[in-house]
Structure 1
Amino acid sequence: MSDLISIEFSPADIQKAFTLIDELRQLLEAQLITLPKAQRRKLLRMGDANEQFAVKSLEYAGQLSKFHPPYFNYDEMKKDMTAYQQLRQLQQRLVPLQAALEDTIMAAGSDILSASHVFYRVLKQAAQMNDPDANAALDDLKKRFELSERSTKPK
């Protein structure tokens, strides 16, 4: 049984993290949006290559206003670019934290399930020896174990 992590957070640290997350949410929430899935699928995607295209387009649009059609709003494009770049900077700082959080949760879950499997095997052995306490616990855990096995195996 490998133990990937052994960590402990104080209730005060968890509460402080909740408070900081709530403060961040309150700071940003009024200006962030949530798109419906259908709309997300239809939107153009900004990636590294086309970000450079967009930056250069913005630069030329600032220099060549005679090419602005009536339906083109340069000021809005410039405002959107600034917001995009600011939000990307925030995201780039949050992504490693989110990834570390997910990995730590995965490791803790794996440790818990590994220990649960050890305990389950011990219960099975005790039940084979007709221990009444083991039989009752094993009967309860057996159903859950079978469901667990189907949903937790790595793909």
Structure 2
Amino acid sequence: MQNLISMTLSQIELQEVDAALETLRRVFAPMISLETQQRRELTKMGGKSEAFCRQTLTVLAANPQIVPPNLGLAEAQADLAALDALRPRLLMLQQLTERAEDSVLALGSDLMQVALEGYSLLKVSGRSESLKGARQALSARFARGGREAAPATEATDRT
């Protein structure tokens, strides 16, 4: 019998999780959500590009006489600081999310295994009339929809 995970969350633990999530929601309020098209159109910063950006900002900061005021160097430096602050936290959130998703998957799998074994027991041992309705209701999970047959075409032979 499969039992990948056994867990119980107390009301206090759930309240703590909810409070932490609400705090994150409040703190993350300034963050944006992009549409798919916006994501496609943005200039992306990969690993090599990040090194280029960092080096360029350093050179520009060291040579303020060549930087026009409308370039937005101060904003770019603030963006870099925010990026550096956000990345390790995003990694922690991703790890927590992955663990939560894996736990939900394992819980569902454990449930399915017990339900399938229980259903098999009902099919074999539960032949009494009192369980017939329950067996039929549960069998709906395995019902297959019939496929529509393609319309038959009649061919005429000419000889």
TM-score by length of 2: 0.79
* 1:132 equivalenced with 2:132 (yes/no): no
**Gapped runs of 5+ residues in structure 2?**
145-159
User: Would you say 1:25 and 2:25 are equivalent positions?
Assistant: yes
Q: Show structure 1 runs of 5+ residues with no match.
A: 148-155
Q: CA distance change for structure 1 residues 45 and 27 in 2, over 3 Å: closer, same or farther?
A: same
Query: Bigger relative contact order, structure 1 or 2, given CA contacts below 8 A and separation 6+?
Result: 2
Write the mapping of 1:71-86 to structure 2, written as runs, cut at 5 A: 72-86=71-85
Please say if residues 61 and 67 of structure 1, whose CA atoms lie closer than 8 Å, have aligned partners that are also in contact: yes
Structure 2 partner of 1:59: 58
- What's the secondary structure of 1:3's corresponding residue? coil
Match of 1:111 in 2: 110
CA distance in 2, matches of 1:135, 1:98: 42
Q: Where is the helix percentage greater, Structure 1 or Structure 2?
A: 1
Q: Is the 8 A contact 1:5 1:108 kept in 2?
A: yes
Structure 2 Cα separation of the partners of residues 27 and 57 of structure 1: 30
Work out the CA distance in 1 between the residues paired with 2:118 and 2:100. Answer: 27
What whole-Å deviation, never above 9, does each CA across 1:97-152 have from its counterpart, x for those lacking one? Answer: 1111111111111101111111111122135xx322332112111222458xxxxx
Letter in 1 for 2:71: F
Write out the 4+ residue segments of structure 1 that deviate beyond 4 Å after TM superposition. Answer: none
Q: Deviations over 1:30-84 (max 9, x none)?
A: x111111211122233333322222112112212345546752111111111111
Quick check: 1:126–1:134 contact (8 Å CA) kept in 2? no
Count of paired positions? 144
Structure number with greater Rg is: 2
Same amino acid, percent of matched pairs: 28
Taking structure 1 as the reference length, the TM-score comes to: 0.81
Cα distance in 1 for partners of 2:53, 2:5 equals: 44
Equivalent position of 2:154 in the other structure: none
